[in-house]
């Protein structure tokens, strides 16, 4: 029996107080995410339970109990206070997925400072933009990333402390640099937790920049309420689960559901700090007997590309539930996972700005491959007319996805950009920036980003529809569809594809693909051109950056590409 029970019953009787009651929180109480994810779990008698299994490069293994992470949070928090870090100061976490990244997350929150997680693969310019915008006071990092910080330190007057978690005592460090090795510090048994309230800022996540310059999305400690309940009901995490979220904490999924959700439920989290390999991933699942796996469509398609045979060689019988996030999950990936794992990946839709899941496929709910699912209980979703911004009542008509503000994890502002924040709201609705339609059963179907939809001769074409059709072809590994300028129709459809091993792109392959998708698409949606690429441009969180492909076709400025893979 899943945690959510009957979806219809939950919708009728829903209140966020369900999560508040389970967490022992009442309106006006102190609510500190760091405390809830560690101290509270220990107070429940689970201090000796494993909180984190970590495997790094070379197969080096570490494990931490909930009491270990409680003590680590206290120790890190106490050290930060000794440096003068105060409530609401921004502390950047700029590390690979090492244990200190996860433990520092708790320590920063426990003292009421704001966590600013950033991808460790960022270059110095990308790092500068985000640190300068946030007025960051301290950065916790590793020796390997020091050179990037040293290049920009003189241009960041607010940055007072560079904390190195693997420093060498015998080496001379520069101004503002200080070492802190967690396992050499005296554990702090008790620490005064900052009495943060519901509206106290907690995490500052920067958007991936797929539509321009990155924006700092500010969340608050009350977001725990949404993250706790969505984790329990959608990811269906239970007492004895071993959970793996493949997302880096530099991305909101890696914090909301890679740290806060599972640890607030007292669930064991697994972290694999190494590059993608289908065999390595499957063996990781087998080794730790992972039961719940939350990943991304890009990764799932890469697993598909690796083939079915490898799955048969590794014991994946521990898995009982799979979910996906990041981009729309095409129908083929859902049916593939049903075939090879015996269960589907359930798509979940949400954003950095929403902080928690909004439209999802729930355990026990009928799955329609390719659909986003239905609204999470407590979330009011509508589709708005793109011109009038009034709710659409006609079934099957495309509109802008919008949500009624007020869910606990909703962002509270864009950092230093209140004007841009206000632009996200109109007529009392939060605009997600995506288009969808609703079918007769109330399921949402993704069409594309509002600025991605292709207008060809006055007819709107969904890039996702074309991409999904392309992905059903046996030779295609990944696809991305954008508008291309056209003298007659203003815009026409152009597709970019990558191929699976063993296939080559030539005239015969292109003709074969065209004939294949012609049976699936309307004439207006047919690509006028297909271009082969070795790799599609993606953010490090796995989202295909169609904006780059669009700019290439239209001769436009590309803009911010700081989250581009291997940029």
- Grade residue 486 by pLDDT with cuts at 50, 70 and 90: confident
Nearest to 435 by CA among 360, 383, 394, 396: 383
Residue 41: pLDDT band by 50, 70, 90 thresholds? very high
Query: Residue 519: pLDDT above 90?
Result: no
- The answer to whether residue 560 scores a pLDDT higher than 80 is no
Whole-angstrom distance, CA of residue 56 vs CA of residue 319: 22
Mind listing the pLDDT tens digit for each residue in 322-360? 999 987 888 999 999 999 999 999 999 999 999 999 999
> Are residues 346 and 223 part of one domain?
yes
Domain count, the chain: 2
Confidence of residue 1 (pLDDT cuts 50, 70, 90): low
CATH code for the domain in which residue 218 is found: 3.40.50.12780
pLDDT in tens, 275-305: 889 999 999 999 999 999 999 888 898 899 8
The answer to whether residues 237 and 114 belong to one domain is yes
Q: Do 431 and 469 belong to one domain?
A: no
Same domain, 463 and 430: no
Q: Are residues 354 and 462 in the same domain?
A: no
- Do 436 and 443 contact (CB within 8 A), yes or no? no
Beta-strand pair 90-94/138-141? parallel
Query: Pick from 438, 468, 493: which residue ends a domain?
Result: 438
Q: What is the signed CA dihedral for 532, 535, 537, 543, rounded to 10 degrees?
A: 110
Domain finish residue from 400, 416, 438? 438
Q: What is the pLDDT of residue 525?
A: 81
Q: What share of the chain in percent tops pLDDT 70?
A: 94
Q: Are 191 and 34 in contact (CB under 8 A)?
A: no
Domain shared by 377 and 238, yes or no: yes
Mean pLDDT of 470-474: 93
- Are residue 415 and residue 504 in the same domain, yes or no? no
Is the residue at 169 inside a domain?
yes
Per-residue pLDDT, 559: 60
Same domain as 468, residue 430? no
pLDDT of residue 567: 43
Lowest mean pLDDT among 7-16, 91-100, 132-141: 7-16
pLDDT tens profile 186-244: 999 999 999 999 999 999 999 854 445 679 999 999 999 999 999 999 999 999 999 99
Identify whether residues 366 and 274 lie together within a single domain.
Answer: yes
Higher-confidence position of 69 and 461: 69
Domain span holding position 23: 7-438
pLDDT of residue 211: 42
- 491 occurs within a structural domain: yes
**Do 361 and 463 share a domain, yes or no?**
no
What is the per-residue pLDDT for 210?
Answer: 41
**Alpha carbon separation from 324 to 295, 350, 370, 445 (Å, rounded):** 5, 11, 12, 15
């Amino acid at each position: 029996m899943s945690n959510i029970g009957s979806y219809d019953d939950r919708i009728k009787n829903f209140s966020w107080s369900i999560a508040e009651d389970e967490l022992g929180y009442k309106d006006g109480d102190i609510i500190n995410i760091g405390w809830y994810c560690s101290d509270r779990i220990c107070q429940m008698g689970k201090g000796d339970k494993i909180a984190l299994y970590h495997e790094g490069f070379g197969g080096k293994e570490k494990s931490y109990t909930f009491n270990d992470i409680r003590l680590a949070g206290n120790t890190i928090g106490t050290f930060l206070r000794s440096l003068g870090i105060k409530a609401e100061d921004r502390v950047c976490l700029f590390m690979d997925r090492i244990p200190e990244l996860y433990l520092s997350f708790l320590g920063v929150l426990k003292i009421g400072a704001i966590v600013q997680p950033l991808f460790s693969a960022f270059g110095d310019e990308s790092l500068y933009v985000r640190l300068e915008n946030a007025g960051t006071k301290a950065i916790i990092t590793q020796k390997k990333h020091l050179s990037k910080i040293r290049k920009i330190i003189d241009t960041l007057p607010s940055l007072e402390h560079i904390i190195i978690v693997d420093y060498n005592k015998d080496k001379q460090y520069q101004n503002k640099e200080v070492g802190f090795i967690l396992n050499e510090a005296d554990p702090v048994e008790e620490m005064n937790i900052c009495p943060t309230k519901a509206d106290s800022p907690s995490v500052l996540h920067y958007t991936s920049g797929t539509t321009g310059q990155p924006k700092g999305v500010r969340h608050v400690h009350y977001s725990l309420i949404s993250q706790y309940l969505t984790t329990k009901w959608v990811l269906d995490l239970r007492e004895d689960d071993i959970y793996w979220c493949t997302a880096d904490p530099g991305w909101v999924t890696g914090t909301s559901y890679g740290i806060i959700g599972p640890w607030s439920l007292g669930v064991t989290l697994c972290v694999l700090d190494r590059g993608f390999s289908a065999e390595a991933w499957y063996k990781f699942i087998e080794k730790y007997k992972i039961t719940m796996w939350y990943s991304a469509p890009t990764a799932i398609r890469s697993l598909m590309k690796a083939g079915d045979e490898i799955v048969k060689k590794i014991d994946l019988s521990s898995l009982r539930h799979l979910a996906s996030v990041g981009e729309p999950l095409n129908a083929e990936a859902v049916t593939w996972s049903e075939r090879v794992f015996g269960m589907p990946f359930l798509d979940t839709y949400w954003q950095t700005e929403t902080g928690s899941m909004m439209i999802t496929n729930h355990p026990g709910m009928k799955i329609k491959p390719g659909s986003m699912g239905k609204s999470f209980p407590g979330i009011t979703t509508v589709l708005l007319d793109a011109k009038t911004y009034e709710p659409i009542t006609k079934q099957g008509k495309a509109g802008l996805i919008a949500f009624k503000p007020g869910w606990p994890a909703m962002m509270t502002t864009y950092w230093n950009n209140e004007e841009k924040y206000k632009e996200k709201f109109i007529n009392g609705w939060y605009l997600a920036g995506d288009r969808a339609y609703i079918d007769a059963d109330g399921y949402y179907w993704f069409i594309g980003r509002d600025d991605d939809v292709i207008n060809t001769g006055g007819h709107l074409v969904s890039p996702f529809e074309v991409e999904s059709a392309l992905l059903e072809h046996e030779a295609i590994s990944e696809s991305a569809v954008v508008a291309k300028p056209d003298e007659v129709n203003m815009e026409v459809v152009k597709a970019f594809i990558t191929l699976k091993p063993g296939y080559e792109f030539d005239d015969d392959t292109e003709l074969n693909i065209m004939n294949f998708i012609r049976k699936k698409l309307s004439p207006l949606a047919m690509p006028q051109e297909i271009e082969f690429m070795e790799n599609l441009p993606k953010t490090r969180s796995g989202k295909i950056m169609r904006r780059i492909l669009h700019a290439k076709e239209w001769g436009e400025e590309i803009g911010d590409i700081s989250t581009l893979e291997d940029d």
